[in-house]
Structure formats: structure tokens, C-alpha cells
Amino acid sequence: MAIKMLKFNKLYLVIISLGAMLLFTTSCSKGGKNISRTTGWAYNDPKNGGFEVSPSKEQKTGPGLVFIEGGTFTMGATEETPFYEWDNRPHNVTVNSFYMDETEVSNLAYLEYIYWLERVYGADYPTVVKKALPDTTVWLRKMTYNEPLVENYFRHPAYHNYPVVGVNWLQANAYASWRTDRVNEQLLINAGYLDYDPDQKDDNSFSTEAYLSGQYQGLVKEGKKDLNPNGTGVRKVSYGDGILLPHYRLPTEAEWEYAALGLVGNTVNNRVAERKVYPWNGTGLRSDNKKYYGKFVANFKIAEGNYMGVAGDLNDGASIPAPVMSYWPNDFGLYNMAGNVSEWVMDKYSPAAFQTEGDFDPYYGDSFKTLKRDMDGNVAQKDSLGRIPLAPLKKSKLAQINNTTPPPDNFNMSENARKGFAEYGVTSLINSKSRVIKGGSWNDPPYYLSPGVRRYMDEDKSSATVGFRCAMSRVGSPESSKQRKK
């Protein structure tokens, strides 16, 4: 009898819960229209003014990206540096969820970028194209015959799927901006609001900011219905419609290191069961898979004069960078987070960065920039390349600018940190243009394969061992829809 009563009570609770959910649903809708819980007015109804509210939806995963669920981890060195440096003390931080390129940016991807620049700007602004080209002379080294790589590595089809190198930090950022615009333009085309325009040229070219500010029209296929009774009946897509994606960008150092470690496969009961030295478990560099037993799991310099093993048994199988999807991905599904090429990240380099950074999404870099505006607060006119100029955001003007999130207090390099810099060119090679490089390369010994290792290079310099991959901020819930369902 007690068991029957228990079952009845459970059933009763389920019915009450369903009834409450139904009551809540009906109280927030009327005739298919959502109702404001603040005013009682219907959303998306032109009869009462047409205040539009887009349905809540999860952020789409942009082309080439992998979702990285955030969390806390111990950032910093996992092994003692052979140079006895102390620029990477282990410290706990939290990284918000974000997206990361599955692979390093390939030659083919960068060639697509160069082709677009040539087609749109090449006739009137050839220097734009030249400025974006990788420096293929990075392959030249004393007492080596690397001329074939200078001539072939970037453009020959045999190297299409190899990581692009010879790209400096500034060029990598420019590529990320271009990629943002191409992806958002395609999303508008897919949604039916724009059509392809192969005749784009110079300032008549799509950029996300120019479109949103009303300075780019494009070939309108069918506009979005404007519910404002004072409107024209058709309007442009706004960022609040949830169609456009946030910017592609370089990952921060913390994001890159977190993604490289891939600790998602090492968590038990809300704790990290085993800290990793490399993007894979254990301290070895060879596969324990029976099929590939003994093969190296990354592309690195095995020993002095040994870049790939011996003929007939080429071990890591690559004398220079390998194709971007070589070897095994880590637990986040990312390829070559150790070896192949080192990668640019957003951060400036300082040996004392960990002492001044925040412990949530730490970043040591430039001042926050927003769209430049005139004295009346209007977005500045686009330039001759169709781009809206940016300007550093002053905190005193935060309240005057809409849709802008204020930067954290520690966003800029602190005065104490600046004073801590040694004198450039006299006692140090570190300056305000020094940017962090993460991950080992095909030309590095095993120590540099650990994600915690950090090096630096000036932002306007490039190398045959350094490439990059893009990231994107996560909007909304830090969990994926699959994780929330669980």
C-alpha cells in the first residue's frame, strides 16, 4: 500500500509540474506572440510599436571551429625550464568557453585570402596584397639548400594542406578580420538577405561593421521585415537578430594553453585527476596504440640532425611541417597543439605577466578598441577599403557608446609591470611589440612541446617555424547543447 501511495504522489507531482509549465507558457504568450514580463506588451507586434525580440538560440559553430568548454586549470610550467627562467609560475585560472580552429591555418586557406584581396583591392591598392603576403624567405638559412622551399612551399598544390608560415602577428590578425567578414557575408546570403556580389571593389566591399552601421548596401535579395510602424517595411539585419557571428581572432595565451592540454578527458568528480605535461596523457612521445606502436605522436626535432627518422621507417614522418591534420587530435579534437609549427597568440610577452593578470580569462595585451565615432557619437565613415576605423576606448566615454562592454580594470599593462621591463636593446630583447608564441615546432626539441612553455617574437617578425590558428568567443551558456541535455 505504501508503494502504491508513493507512486501516486510521484505521478501527482509530475502532473502539477507540467501544469505549472503550461501556465507559465500561456502567461508569456498570446496568440503566438511573446509577452513582456515587465510591461505585459506583446513582442514582435507592429500594432503596439513592433519591439522585436529574436528567439533565444545557441551560437552557431563557425567554419573550421571546435567548441572548447571552459573551466579552471593550472596554467604555467609543467617542467623546469633548462634555462632556469621563472616567467611561467603555475597558477590557477578560469577560462570561459570559446571556439578554436581544429587545425592550424593552412596554405590553401591563406591563398584564398590573398586571392580575395587581389580581386577586390589589387587594381587600385596593390600594396594591400603585398602587405598580406607571407615572407617565403624565412626558409633561407646559412649553409643549407632551402631554395626549393622558398619557391614552392606556399604556392605549390603539394603543400596546400600544410600550415602557412612566414606570417607575422599583424598579418595573422588581418587574416582573422577578413575571415570574420567572409563568414558573416555568407551567413547573410544563406539566410536570404543578401546575394553574391562578385563585383565588390575597394570601398564597395562587405565588412561586418560597415554593413551593421548602414555603410554597405550590397545586393539585397530580400530584406528582413521591419515591424516598426514608422519604418520602411524592410530593414537590414542587426547584430541582435542572432544571425551574425562574433569576430574570428587569435586565441589568448590562456585559451591556447587550456585548449592544448585538453583536460576534458582527465576530469573525475569535478577535479582534474591527472595533470598533463603534453596534449596527451603520460610523459612519453610515442604512441601506445598497437597499430602504430612506437610512432611519434607529434612532429618535432628528434635529435641533432634527426628531423624525421630513417628511410623505410620515417617515424614522425615529416622533415618540415606536416599537413595540418597529421597525427592524433587531443581530447578537444584539436590537431597539432604540440609540434608541427609554433603559434601566435594575442598576448604581449612579459616575464611577470602572471603577477598582474586576472584569474578569469587572463590576458596581457592591448587596450580595448571600438569603432571610431565623430563628435556626435555616430560611427565614423568607412575608409577607402570599406573598413570602419577603430579607436582605443576611454573609460570616461563608456556611457556614451551603445553595445560596448567595458574592459576589465587590468586590461592594460599596469604601471608597475611597465616599470619592471628591462631596458630594451641593453639588457633585454623584450619590448612593447613582443608577442607570445606557444607550442613547439618541427624544429624544436621535446621540451617545447609542453603547452605551458612560452616564448616570444616581435609582432612584425615571422619565421619558418611559426604559424597560427583562429579562435572565437562563446556567446551565451558556457555549456554546449549536448552537455545541457545530459
146-180 per-position pLDDT tens digit: 999 999 999 999 999 999 999 999 999 999 999 99
Q: Which of 111-125, 277-291, 352-366, 418-432 has the lowest mean pLDDT?
A: 418-432
Q: Is residue 161 part of a domain?
A: yes
**Confidence class of residue 31 from pLDDT cuts 50, 70 and 90?**
very low
Phi–psi pair at 132, nearest 5 degrees = -90, -20
Can you read off the three cell numbers belonging to residue 138?
Answer: 624565412
Share of the chain above pLDDT 90, in %: 58
Which 8-state DSSP code applies to residue 336? -
CATH number at residue 107: 3.90.1580.10
Q: Which of 234, 239, 240, 237 is nearest to 191 (CA)?
A: 237
Q: Are residues 139 and 46 in the same domain?
A: no
Q: Are residues 5 and 150 in the same domain?
A: no
Q: Is residue 230 part of a domain?
A: no
On whether the CB atoms of residues 252 and 362 are closer than 8 A, the answer is yes
Can you read off the three cell numbers belonging to residue 123?
Answer: 587594381
- Sign, CA dihedral 275-278-281-282, equals negative
Q: Which of 82-91, 276-285, 360-369, 437-446 has the lowest mean pLDDT?
A: 82-91
Amino acid 322 reads: A
Mean pLDDT confidence for 45-59: 87
Q: Is residue 114 part of a domain?
A: yes
Q: Is residue 206 part of a domain?
A: no
Q: What is the pLDDT of residue 425?
A: 52
Q: Are residues 82 and 46 in the same domain?
A: no
Domain that holds residue 88: 67-191+243-367+410-476
Q: Are residues 440 and 328 in the same domain?
A: yes
Decide if pLDDT at 238 tops 70.
yes
Q: What is the pLDDT of residue 428?
A: 56
Q: Are residues 115 and 175 in the same domain?
A: yes
Q: Which of 361, 390, 395 is nearest to 471 (CA)?
A: 361
Decide if pLDDT at 9 tops 90.
no
Can you read off the three cell numbers belonging to residue 94?
Answer: 578560469
Q: Is residue 93 part of a domain?
A: yes
Element (H, E) at 392: strand 390-392
Q: Are residues 167 and 50 in the same domain?
A: no
Phi–psi pair at 92, nearest 5 degrees = -80, 130
Bridge partners of residue 424, in order along the sequence: 428
Report how many domains make up the chain: 2
Residue bearing the bigger pLDDT, 282 or 12: 282
How many other CB atoms are there within 10 angstroms of residue 49's CB atom? 13
Q: Are residues 34 and 52 in the same domain?
A: yes
**Confidence class of residue 14 from pLDDT cuts 50, 70 and 90?**
very low
Q: Are residues 38 and 157 in the same domain?
A: no
Decide if pLDDT at 411 tops 50.
no
Q: Which of 125-129, 366-370, 479-483 has the lowest mean pLDDT?
A: 479-483
Q: Are residues 121 and 24 in the same domain?
A: no
Domain boundary among 60, 86, 111: 60
Q: What is the pLDDT of residue 353?
A: 79
Q: Is residue 463 part of a domain?
A: yes
Domain boundary among 9, 31, 60: 60
Decide if pLDDT at 7 tops 70.
no
Q: Is residue 166 part of a domain?
A: yes
Which 8-state DSSP code applies to residue 46? G
Share of the chain above pLDDT 70, in %: 83
Mean pLDDT confidence for 242-256: 97
What gap in Å lies between CA 429 and CA 138, rounded to an integer? 20
Domain boundary among 38, 60, 82: 60
Q: Is residue 24 part of a domain?
A: yes
Q: What is the pLDDT of residue 204?
A: 96
Q: Are residues 56 and 71 in the same domain?
A: no
On whether the CB atoms of residues 146 and 321 are closer than 8 A, the answer is no
Decide if pLDDT at 415 tops 80.
no
**Confidence class of residue 429 from pLDDT cuts 50, 70 and 90?**
low
Q: Are residues 73 and 49 in the same domain?
A: no
Decide if pLDDT at 468 tops 60.
yes
Q: What is the pLDDT of residue 369?
A: 83
Contacts of 149 (CB under 8 A, 6+ apart): 136, 139, 320, 464
Decide if pLDDT at 5 tops 50.
no
pLDDT in tens, 179-227: 999 999 999 999 999 999 999 999 999 999 999 999 999 998 877 888 9
Q: Are residues 55 and 166 in the same domain?
A: no
**Confidence class of residue 315 from pLDDT cuts 50, 70 and 90?**
confident
Mean pLDDT of the chain: 84
